[in-house]
Amino acid sequence: MAPSSEPILQVSGLVKHYPLTRGVLFRKQIGAVRAVDGVDFTLGRGETLGVVGESGCGKSTVAKLLCNLERPTAGAIRFKGEDITRLSGRALKAVRRNIQMVFQDPYTSLNPRMTVGDIVGEPYDIHPEAAPKGDRRRRVQELLDVVGLNPEYVNRYPHQFSGGQRQRIGIARGLALRPEVIVADEPVSALDVSVQAQVINLLDRLQSEFDLSYVFIAHDLSIVRHISDRVGVMYLGRIMETGRDAEIYDHPTHPYTQALLSAVPVPDPEARDRRERIILAGDVPSPTNIPSGCRFRTRCWKARERCVVEVPALAVPEAFRGGTGSAVHDSACHFAEELRVVPAQGAAEGPAQGVAEENGSGPG
Amino acid sequence: MPEQPYEPERAIAGTGMGGAMDLAASEATTLEPAPAGPLGTGPVGKPRSLWSDAWRDLRRNPVFLLCALVIVFLVFVSLWPSAIASGSPLTCDLARSQDGPGPGAPFGYDGQGCNVYTRTVYGARTSVTVGVLATLGVSVLGSVLGGLAGYFGGVWDAILSRITDIFFAIPVVLGGLVLLSVVTSNTVWPVIGFMVLLGWPQISRIARGSVITAKQHDYVQAARALGASDTRILLRHIAPNAVAPVIVVATIALGTYIALEATLSYLGVGLKPPSVSWGIDISAASPYIRNAPHALLWPSGALAVTVLAFIMLGDAVRDALDPKLR
């Protein structure tokens, strides 16, 4: 899991607005759902970038944009320097070999009317150049073996497997074309906790085995920390704070990150009593009507006049500029300051499940 | 408060999985074989597909075999009615009007003195032709138009939906009276054409709805992320998952088309004598139900058995195409 500095994926100014229209015959645009509203990040080769945020903050839309399942309204996604957002036809198909996706719900991500062999082998039908025809069946069985399934299961149907096994099938399909980037959209949130650990460990193992780079989307902070090298915290379509995992978890400087981390359940009752729980007021504003200035200001206890008029840039905050240490990382807040919210003692013994804000089952 | 970083790694390991090192061991114990069905018990054989599995299933289904037998027999009778019935269905002798069974006429004679057995055998051709061809036409036209509208959406979907609304507003019998009364040809083709014209919106609506449901599943997104073409997504992923409601409705519709042919013939706008059809015979025999019930019973019974065979066949095919029911 050694991240190198060489970027494999560069995302800049990524925007996805879904227009809201009114009228049957003469469609008039009356607004837009600003699902993703200016996201920038870089993914290094062999690195894992965790993206966290509550439901509806645009995480899944980012995943779809990365896999070219949706066209962005603006911005660029560069894979090895080439902008893939405007590609079509053969060039797009070629890029798709390199960026694959693992889906959230293993119960809908596998076609119930195809056998496991057909599902995992389908990438070879679509990209015949990836494997010679006679070799495909052996490769499919190898893939099943790699993800920890019995290769003899090729003739079974998805409904004959448990949730964790199904997610392994989904991962095998994602691996078939030997992609360089895997976008995992909440890959374990539909699984129960013991199985979550197995699947996370599998992803971890595959990363070193196949030299993969991950964009790992989740709302579970503990799991994101476990697997990520770097973490980005999203709120209402934008990344609010990003940095190495230790920087985000132990030295958060953005009030939203601090509030999220303070909501992680603490299994130790004593530590729980000592910690400071930040309760945010109000609900997430509608993505059709995003507040001016800092989008978090409506729920922030630090909000002042400046937050209404000036959009904070995602950069190292003024207070920490020129300094050293873990608090020096990008944070989109005018009044960033370090605040330790994760209690230290005893927290390590808890269950893996650390639900951020709510355990939303819908796509985030 | 002693400084110790939060360690989710240990938190995950704490669930009893023992971390990555023990992964292989934990897999060995936790990966129980999936519920063993009739599949997967044998060694890895040659690859199977949905259709070959469905066929394996159907061959062992007695209901399917019985229905298929009836339908094969009906098709055979439609093609070669003279093989089991001697004489012509149009040779009638008024002297034998409403007579009971006799030699060469096991079903007796109808009001015109025609041999009911011969007429029932010859009538199969009309009913089977109208039912099968109208259903085929309606299913193909309806599912192609509805499926494409549902898959691509947008303007075409809006236009198609309005067109189906217009067709739904046409009363079938009234439409038949108006449209078929101007047709002079006394063959099954105008009747079939009329049924396709008025029947496709029903299938189209069902196909559209089930395609819209199917295309929202993640496996369609997964196929798209793999670079699959629209044709491939439609044929491999959407069609198999959207076809079941169409099959069910089409098989039920097949029965209603056979009945509709009888209705139209009764009204004098479908097939007209001297054509032979169960519908014509049923309508001709219904006034004499008290005097000669056999003249009504046999064509009606043939109609009922035919409709039932097609509906139950459709049911069996639908079940076989759903692996979850195996």
User: Is A114 close to B45, i.e. CB distance below 8 A?
Assistant: no
Neighbours of A286 (CB within 10 A): 12
- pLDDT score recorded for residue B319: 81
Residue found by looking up tokens 């909440």 in the block: A186
The pLDDT tens digits for B109-130 are: 877 778 888 888 888 888 888 8
Quick check: B45 contacting A, CB < 8 Å?
yes
Mean pLDDT over B188-211 rounds to: 90
Least confident of A96-110, B48-62, B128-142: B48-62
Return the structure tokens found at A262.
Answer: 């303070």
pLDDT, position A343: 56
pLDDT surpassing 80 at residue A138? yes
More confident residue, B219 or A363: B219
- Which residues in chain B have their CB less than 8 angstroms from residue A99's CB? 225
**Looking at residues B49-62, what average pLDDT do you find?**
80
- The per-residue pLDDT for B48 is 60
Tell me if A335 is assigned to some domain: yes
Which residue is closest to A90 within chain B, CA to CA? B227
Q: Show the beta-strand stretches assigned E in chain A.
A: 7-22, 28-44, 48-52, 74-79, 82-83, 99-102, 181-185, 213-218, 230-235, 238-244, 330-331
pLDDT at residue B61 greater than cutoff 60: yes
Q: What is the C-alpha to C-alpha distance for residues A49 and A63, in angstroms, rounded to an integer? A: 12
Give the residue on A whose Cα is nearest the Cα of B323: A113
Question: What is d(CA B105, CA B100) in angstroms, rounded to the nearest whole number?
Answer: 8
Confidence of residue B19 (pLDDT cuts 50, 70, 90): very low
DSSP A50-91: EEE--TTSSHHHHHHHHTTSS--SEEEEEETTEE-TT--HHH
At residue B207, the pLDDT reads 92
A204:B321 CB<8 A: no
Angle between helices B239-267 and B188-215 (to 10 degrees): 150
Q: Is there a domain that residue A74 lies in?
A: no
- A120: in domain: no
B188 versus B206: which is more confidently predicted? B206
Confidence of residue B49 (pLDDT cuts 50, 70, 90): low
Nearest to A176 by CA among A214, A215, A210: A210
The arithmetic mean of pLDDT across residues B272-292, rounded, is 82
pLDDT at A173: 92
Query: Considering CB atoms only, which of B17, B34, B219 is closest to A156?
Result: B34
Answer whether residue A285 is part of any domain.
Answer: yes
Answer yes or no: is pLDDT of A322 > 50: yes
- In terms of pLDDT, which residue wins out, A326 or A86? A86
Is residue B37 scored above 50 in pLDDT? no
What local confidence, expressed as pLDDT, does residue A327 receive? 76
* Within a domain: A300: yes
Closest residue to A352, CB basis, from B11, B40, B43: B11
pLDDT of residue A231: 92
ipTM of the complex model: 0.80
Cβ contact, residue pair A345, B1, below 8 Å:
yes
Lowest mean pLDDT among B7-11, B269-273, B297-301: B7-11
CB of B113 within 8 A of CB of B96?
A: yes
pLDDT at B82: 82
Name the one residue in this structure whose structure tokens are 């039932």. Answer: B308
Q: What is the pLDDT of residue B168?
A: 86
> What is the rounded distance in angstroms from the CA atom of residue A156 to the CA atom of residue A166?
11
* Rounded Cα distance, B310 and B316, in Å: 10
- Collect all residues of chain A within an 8 Å Cβ-Cβ radius of residue B232: 125-126
pLDDT band at B11 (very low <50, low <70, confident <90, very high): very low
Q: Which of B16, B43, B326 sits opposite A194 (nearest CB)?
A: B16
> A287-321 as b/e, with b when 16 or more CB fall inside 10 Å?
beeeeebbbbbbbbeebeeebeeeebebebbebbe
Strand order in the sheet with A28-44: A28-44, A7-22, A74-79, A82-83
Of B15, B43, B223, the CB nearest to A351: B15
Six token digits for residue A3: 């991240």
Pairwise CA distance, residues B296 & B312, whole Å: 24
Quick one: pLDDT at residue A340?
A: 72
Q: Does B221 sit within 8 Å of A165, measured CB to CB?
A: no
Q: Is the pLDDT of residue B264 over 70?
A: yes
Assess if residue A78 is contained within a domain.
no
Residues from chain B that touch A159, judged by Cβ atoms under 8 A, are 323-324
Q: Does residue A86 belong to any structural domain of this protein?
A: no
Inter-chain residue contact A204 with B14, CB threshold 8 Å: no
Q: How many domains does chain A have?
A: 1
Question: Comparing C-alpha atoms, which of B260, B283, B152, B148 is closest to residue B198?
Answer: B260
| Residue A353 reports pLDDT greater than 70 | no
Share the mean pLDDT of chain A. Answer: 83
Q: Give residue A334's pLDDT.
A: 87
Domain of residue A329 covers 252-343
Flag the least confident range among A39-53, A251-265, B45-59.
Answer: B45-59
Query: Stretch A351-361: mean pLDDT, rounded?
Result: 39
Chain A residue numbers touching B237 (CB-CB < 8 A): 111
What does the mean pLDDT of chain B come to?
78
Report B:215-254 residues touching A (Cβ under 8 A). Answer: 217-219, 221-228, 232, 236-237, 240-241
Looking at residue B325, its pLDDT comes to 67
Quick check: A222 and B12 CB within 8 A? Answer: yes
Q: What is the pLDDT of residue B280?
A: 82
Query: In the structure, what pLDDT confidence band is assigned to residue B10 with cuts at 50, 70 and 90?
Result: very low
| Per-residue pLDDT, B70 | 92
Alpha-carbon torsion, ordered B296, B297, B303, B304, to 10 deg: 140
Average pLDDT over residues B97-112: 77
The reported pLDDT for the residue numbered A213 is 92
The answer to the question of residue A302 being in a domain is yes
Which residues on chain B are in Cβ contact (under 8 Å) with A112? 241, 323-324
Q: Which of B69-78, B97-106, B270-279 has the lowest mean pLDDT?
A: B97-106
Structural domains of chain B ordered from first start: 50-325 (1.10.3720.10)
